[in-house]
Structure 1
Amino acid sequence: MQIGVHGLVFTGTFDEAGLNTAISGTQAAGFDLLELPLMDPSSFDGALVRRMLDDHGVAMSASMGLDADHDLSSSDATVSRSGESLLENAIDVVAEAGGSQLCGVIYSAMQKYMTPVTELGRSHSAEALGRLGARAEAAGVSLALEIVNRYETNVVNTAREGLRFLDLVDHDNVHLHLDTYHMNIEEAGMLEPVLDAGGQLAYVHIGESHRGYLGTGTVDFGAFFRGLTRLGYDGPIVFESFSSAVVSESLSNTLGIWRNLWEDSADLAAHANRFIRDQLRAVATLDLQ
């Protein structure tokens, strides 16, 4: 199991200087893995990223959130195909950088929709993901679909909806990605969705209800980590939090960061690393059989 951190905890830019900040911060805080946001895959030098990660002994994954011009779930086949092309590029970048997973909102645009998803749009997304799953498998990369709240997608908002959508995708290299921040909004509890996801759960985000320091909000982390332990989950567990003290104004607006709950990346990251490992250690002492 790898314990990781999202790159936006440390920086909002991912040129060579930004990458060094994120990778060094990841290593200093004691994490195993860095999740890099591919806001523009064409701007990433995969070979450079790989060398820098290897120099620090840090593993990587990557995430994306599609925009309206690349909405895989669009009823417009041209827009959906544009999203598929972007994700093909992202898969190639992740493989070049030595990563093994691409996750996030890669099945629709990450935005507030004003109407339900159409059946045509859902089909466009599922069919494209089936093709992308095959491409990613050939490149040694697995895909994980992040289940997010109703204000960020209209396709899947719960683990059970995600499982039904995977049936449409019908490719064994496409899995689920659960995030405690979104679960706290949409799910009836924090244990059952983990057990429901079962073997399809391939990636986890740990985030507090207000995106701040872990343990200071309303997320029932005890139940969530009991679920992971009961399931025997062994994939990445990645801390995610955002502050306009780090990310740009435009990205802060996209993410809805209207108030900051932290400013010190190093302290936040070190606290999160300890919190996650302590939670795992605590539930390991319980008899969950």
Structure 2
Amino acid sequence: MNKASDGIIIGFIGTGVMGNSMAGHLLKAGYPLHLYTRTRSRAETLCEKGAIWEESIADLAGKSNVIITMVGFPDDVNQVYLENGGILENAAPGTLVIDMTTSSPALARKIHQKAVELDIRALDAPVSGGDIGARNATLSIMAGGDRDAFDMAMPILELMGSNIFLQGEAGSGQHTKMVNQIVIASTMMGVCEALAYAEKSGLDPDMVLKSIGGGAAESWSLKNLAPRIIKGDFEPGFYVKHFIKDMKIAIESANEMGLELPGLGLARKLYEKLAASGCENDGTQALYKLVVGRL
């Protein structure tokens, strides 16, 4: 199937743990796909399947009418969109830009405002579901922006996710992702402490999961990450360093609203300790190693 007849040419920036799979779904659906990432080797597999590598953000922006970004940190988002040689400076009027990075709500609003001035449609659309959701195209996608931009983006977003909602104006997608991360922060502490307790008391952790996985303790983290912990698999579906970044954004946003979040504050301290122990590139389930003293 070739989507070129639709007139949609997608540019994708950022092909890391999740971005690679997300871009792959778009390519498989038949869309012409242009790629840019700071480490070209990360895009080689997609290029072998037909994606086109671009030497710069400006080159990619000039050849695409839908641009999706999935980068690491708010500073990266700012650079990719707003600095010299960035997307907004080089994209044509009418282009749709979708930032799927977990970033700052304030930055999302800034990008949207600048995009409107240039007749460019902009969405902030962070995701949840980790590497599993990215591979299976079952990501939850939380969008902020104008309805017309969201409606235009929906056929593309549906190729990457299965739980997709427009939450409100620009920045609302990022605020919703902060809600998601606040839940996960305390949940991951609970999962790690629970498995440590199970181990210490002599229980079979796999049998424990069978008992509690369908009850009130059920959660995505328990279902998907607890089995990895039991196997000693701490490879990243979502990096510790990126989770710390998310928690920092959430705490800063909460402070701006005069809201105190003690559980989130504790989780951030624990994950920062974990990162300082050399685990910043592990998956978030590596918190278990800190809980049981295996660092």
TM-score by length of 1: 0.31
TM-score by length of 2: 0.31
Q: Identify the structure with bigger relative contact order (alpha carbons < 8 Å, sequence gap 6+).
A: 1
Rg: which structure is higher? Answer: 2
